[in-house]
Structures are given as C-alpha cells and as structure tokens.
C-alpha cells in the first residue's frame, strides 16, 4: 500500500484525484447495514432475516480464471459494510460472506435441470478473503 501512495504522489498533478484519494485508504469510520439493493436484487444479512418468512441472503459469484476453467462461489451474507474514501463520491459497499465448499463434497448439480444443491454444513476452506464488492453479486 505504501508503494501505491508513493507512486501517486510521485506523479504529482498528473495523477487523478480519485486515485490519490483511494491510495490514502478508507476513512476509519464504517457503516453497517441490514440490507442493500444492488443489480436489481435486495440482499439482507442472515441476522436480519432470522425469523422472517422471506429474505435473500444467498450470494452467487461466477469467476472465470481462464476461458476453460470457471469457479463458482456460493455463500451466505453475514455483513454489509460501507467504506468511504475521503469524500462523498468515493463510497464502496462490501459483503462479508460465509463461503460454501464448491468441490464434490459441497455441491451437487442436477444433470437434467441444472439446479445447484449446496451442502450448507461444508465451509470452503481455501478462501483467503471473505469480502466481495456488492456490485459483483
């Protein structure tokens, strides 16, 4: 991170203001929410939805590592976090997720209908980051 800050300020006036603000890292205060509307869907945290008849806390992300190998991630939304980067226009929403194992132990796909069944008792063990940008969901 220090390298990025150094490079931005080394360029001086030629660096974009937005990039300069992002290089300073987010402000120390964050906001947490129970729900968030993005990409036409309303997502709620698991805590908010506990005891309610309907709510959406399931997360699906299709990741393409290369043209021939895709990895799908399925998870459960635990927290919705808003980070602000030193002005009102630079706001980022993150979802903190509990990721399920998508290997043969944790997932089954119906060959006829393509429906995906997740074993919710098997957590993904090789996830280095539990956060995802809300816009990716």
Q: Residue 58 above 80 pLDDT?
A: yes
Query: Any idea which of 35-39, 42-46, 55-59, 118-122 has the lowest mean pLDDT?
Result: 118-122
pLDDT classification of 65: cutoffs 50, 70, 90: low
Q: How far apart are CA 60 and CA 63, in angstroms?
A: 10
Name the pTM for this structure.
Answer: 0.71
pLDDT value of position 7: 61
pLDDT value of position 14: 46
Q: How far apart are CA 77 and CA 48, in angstroms?
A: 10
Q: How far apart are CA 137 and CA 120, in angstroms?
A: 19
Query: Any idea which of 37-46, 62-71, 88-97 has the lowest mean pLDDT?
Result: 62-71
Q: Residue 1 above 70 pLDDT?
A: no
pLDDT value of position 11: 60
Token digits for 53? 């008849």
Q: What is the pLDDT of residues 68-126, one digit of tens each?
A: 667 788 888 999 999 887 766 778 899 998 888 777 777 788 889 988 888 777 777 66
pLDDT value of position 59: 84
Q: Residue 31 above 80 pLDDT?
A: yes
- Please report where in the chains the tokens 């940008």 appear, as a residue: 133
Ordered by start, the domain boundaries in the chain are 25-136
């Amino acid at each position: 991170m220090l390298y990025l800050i150094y490079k931005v300020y080394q360029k001086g006036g030629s660096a974009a203001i937005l990039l300069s603000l992002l290089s300073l890292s987010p402000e120390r205060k964050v906001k947490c929410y129970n729900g968030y509307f993005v990409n036409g869907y309303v997502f709620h945290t698991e805590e908010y939805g506990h005891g309610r008849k309907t709510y959406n806390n399931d997360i699906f992300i299709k990741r393409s590592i290369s043209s021939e190998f895709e990895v799908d991630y399925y998870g459960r939304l635990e927290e919705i976090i808003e980070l602000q980067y030193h002005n009102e226009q630079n706001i980022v929403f993150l979802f903190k997720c509990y990721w399920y194992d998508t290997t043969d132990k944790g997932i089954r796909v119906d060959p006829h209908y393509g429906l995906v069944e997740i074993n919710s008792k098997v957590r993904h063990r090789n996830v280095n980051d539990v956060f995802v940008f809300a816009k990716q969901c």
